[in-house]
């Protein structure tokens, strides 16, 4: 039996969808006049959307849970009925959201489910009865626009979860509490990493000094690692004429995610991707097969329209920077290049402490450009590279982008949660659309294949994942402040300044807490800031040219010679331990 108590995914969905119906019945009984939206199962539980006659808060959740327990105790059957659409329209005449859903159903008959006095429009299936629900918990309340449309009414969404026994529920709630403790939005504010200012616009990240240091350390590492692997760094503008995006197909297939503007009578686009700039650079002169593969890399900032309701800290934003590269290569070299990208991506994830992944291969979507034959060739190359690495992967049917199939590698953090990371896409379309070519050994023009890839992905999303993975307590090499010097009294400041100078000379990030506060308070605040090392300096340390060392997570390590500590620290940073 799996840890969560469910044999299959279908069992889990049935159980949780049934629990959502129980919650809906409880809300209707407690708040007469409520209009029902929808109530599906989701990855970790379920939700239901309500148009309530009165506002509610999380303080009301225990009351709803009590009513749910009462309904479960009644052990009412989940009964399925097939009725005509006319009968359904009459049954739900006072339920506008259900009537809207009924209009979209083409069949003459629909199914409803009844438990006790509660009736809902639903395909099912459900549990035999409410009494089969053994362990549940309501988690939170949020606002949600009806059908995800900002122009539609804002409904109240109640989230919950349920399990066949109490034990996996308790384990889940513990993980949830740990996830809340690690929430990058809270830690980002508390540790001075970033903020989002609504007056400037949602989904736009402002990095504060410590967050900028973290971002720059990651950026410097990315630049060095790309250079070592034969990538050439480029920089492209943030906007480009709309005609470019028409040629590429983005205006047709990606329009709803793009920002448009007009300048001097011409249409422009805030770039949603970096690929077209790299194509222009490729086209700037005639290319030879001797230059291939040509790997162009950019830490490029892009802008994509996301509905405000789905924005989430650093994880879902409107402006973000990608470690983006485009590889132009011969068709016969395609799988070899994909293999190298997978090596690169796994090496980078390992550097940051991510050792477990979920891997997906996304195939041709319903709307696509190019020929099925080229798609098959691209998918075959991606599969071959994955199998060469002995990577287990799942097929994500129909989830490729419009111009080609892709590999997605989702990194797993310390809580076992999956985060979107490296992506590798094969594209025969853009080389066609822009008629790019190279001169082969035969002196003739040939068309290259284009690989779109990121090895960490969006820096914003990756930093959000890092904050939660490490709970803000970064390894020393990555920590924005690596050392905090804490002098006990003002007379110890001259020696503290000398220690600071020695550390800065070795390019170690250091601060001095020179406030006129008690030493205990300064140490406690330094530890709350999750700084790897605190150096305490008093009379003895100043006289002996030493430091009293405190290490995060280990406490007081005693008196240490400054020179010895600096050498050890330098090795730790260099090795990225």
Q: Which of 182, 406, 453, 522 is catalytic?
A: 406
C-alpha to C-alpha distances, 447 to 286, 292, 429, 430, nearest whole angstrom: 12, 12, 11, 10
Token duo for residue 193: 């990493």
With 0-12 CB in 10 A as exposed, 13-18 as middle and 19+ as buried, what is 222?
buried
Token duo for residue 261: 């503007």
Assess whether 324 carries a catalytic annotation. Answer: yes
Assess whether 226 carries a catalytic annotation. Answer: no
Q: Which of 98, 157, 304, 522 is catalytic?
A: 304
Q: Which of 12, 35, 126, 326 is catalytic?
A: 326
Q: Which of 49, 324, 413, 427 is catalytic?
A: 324
Task: Report the 3 state secondary structure along 147-212.
Answer: HHCCCCCEEEEEEEEEECCHHHHHHHHHHHHHHHHCCHHHHHHHCCCEECCCCCCCCCCEECHHHH
Distance between alpha carbon 467 and the CA centroid of its chain, in Å? 12
Q: Are 297 and 325 in contact (CB under 8 A)?
A: yes
Q: Which of 452, 453, 529, 530 is catalytic?
A: 452
Assess whether 417 carries a catalytic annotation. Answer: no
Place of tokens 């990577």: 391
**Closest C-alpha to 115, from 128, 103, 106, 100:** 128
Q: Which of 25, 115, 322, 420 is catalytic?
A: 322
Q: Which of 12, 25, 120, 275 is catalytic?
A: 275
Q: Are 287 and 294 in contact (CB under 8 A)?
A: yes
Q: Are 192 and 208 in contact (CB under 8 A)?
A: yes
What stretches of 75-115 show up as alpha helix (H) in DSSP? 85-91, 96-103
Assess whether 406 carries a catalytic annotation. Answer: yes
Assess whether 21 carries a catalytic annotation. Answer: no
Assess whether 577 carries a catalytic annotation. Answer: no
- How far apart are alpha carbons 23 and 34 in whole angstroms? 13
- How far apart are alpha carbons 298 and 275 in whole angstroms? 10
Assess whether 329 carries a catalytic annotation. Answer: no
- How far apart are alpha carbons 573 and 474 in whole angstroms? 12
Pairing of strands 483-487, 533-537: parallel
- How far apart are alpha carbons 142 and 485 in whole angstroms? 43
Residues annotated as catalytic (active site), given as ranges: 275, 304, 322, 324, 326, 406, 452
């Amino acid at each position: 039996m799996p840890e969560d108590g469910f044999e299959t995914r279908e069992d889990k969905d049935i159980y949780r969808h049934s629990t959502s119906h129980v919650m809906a019945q409880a809300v209707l009984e407690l708040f007469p006049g409520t209009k029902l939206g929808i109530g599906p199962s989701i990855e970790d539980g379920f939700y239901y959307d309500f148009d309530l006659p009165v506002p509610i808060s999380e303080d009301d959740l225990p009351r709803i849970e009590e009513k749910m327990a009462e309904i479960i105790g009644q052990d009412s059957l989940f009964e399925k009925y097939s009725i005509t659409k006319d009968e359904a329209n009459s049954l739900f005449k006072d339920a506008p959201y259900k009537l809207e859903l009924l209009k979209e159903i083409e069949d003459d008959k629909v199914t409803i489910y009844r438990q006790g006095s509660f009736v809902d429009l639903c395909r099912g299936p459900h549990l035999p009865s409410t009494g089969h629900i053994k362990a549940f918990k309501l988690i939170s309340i949020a606002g949600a626009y009806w059908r995800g449309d900002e122009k539609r009414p804002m409904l109240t969404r109640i989230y919950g979860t349920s399990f066949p026994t109490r034990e996996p529920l308790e384990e889940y709630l513990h993980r949830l509490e740990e996830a809340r403790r690690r929430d990058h939005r809270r830690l980002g504010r508390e540790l001075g990493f970033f903020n989002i200012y609504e007056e400037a616009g949602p989904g736009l990240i402002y990095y504060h000094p410590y967050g900028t240091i973290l971002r720059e350390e990651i950026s410097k590492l990315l630049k060095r690692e790309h250079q070592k692997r034969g990538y050439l760094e480029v920089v492209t503008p943030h906007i480009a004429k709309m005609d470019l995006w028409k040629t590429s197909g983005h205006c047709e297939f990606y329009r709803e995610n793009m920002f448009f503007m007009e300048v001097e009578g011409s249409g422009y686009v805030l770039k949603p991707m970096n690929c077209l700039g790299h194509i222009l650079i490729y086209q700037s002169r005639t290319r030879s097969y001797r230059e291939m593969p040509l790997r162009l890399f950019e830490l490029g900032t892009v802008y994509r329209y996301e509905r405000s309701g789905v924005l989430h800290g650093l994880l879902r934003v409107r402006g973000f920077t990608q470690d983006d590269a485009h590889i132009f290569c011969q068709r016969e070299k395609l799988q070899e290049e994909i293999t190298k990208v997978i090596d690169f991506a796994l090496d980078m994830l390992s550097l940051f402490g991510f050792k477990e992944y979920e891997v997906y291969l996304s195939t041709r979507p319903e709307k696509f450009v190019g020929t099925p034959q080229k798609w098959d060739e691209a998918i075959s190359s991606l599969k071959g590279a994955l199998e060469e690495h002995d990577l287990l992967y799942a097929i994500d049917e129909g989830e490729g982008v419009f111009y080609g199939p892709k590999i997605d590698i989702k990194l797993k953090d310390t809580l076992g949660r999956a985060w979107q990371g490296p992506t590798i896409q094969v594209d025969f379309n853009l080389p066609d659309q822009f008629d790019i070519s190279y001169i082969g050994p035969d002196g003739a023009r040939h068309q290259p294949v284009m690989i779109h890839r990121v090895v960490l992905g969006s820096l914003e999303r990756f930093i959000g994942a890092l904050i939660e993975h490490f709970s803000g307590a970064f390894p020393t090499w990555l920590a924005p402040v690596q050392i905090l010097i804490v002098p006990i009294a003002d007379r110890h400041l001259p020696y503290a300044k000398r220690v600071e100078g020695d550390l800065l000379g070795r390019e170690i990030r250091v601060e001095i807490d020179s406030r006129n506060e008690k030493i205990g308070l300064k140490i406690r605040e330094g530890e709350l800031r999750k700084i790897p090392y605190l150096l305490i300096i008093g009379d003895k340390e100043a006289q002996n040219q030493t430091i009293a060392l405190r290490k995060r997570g280990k406490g007081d390590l005693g008196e240490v010679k400054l020179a010895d500590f600096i050498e050890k620290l330098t090795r730790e940073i260099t090795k990225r331990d």
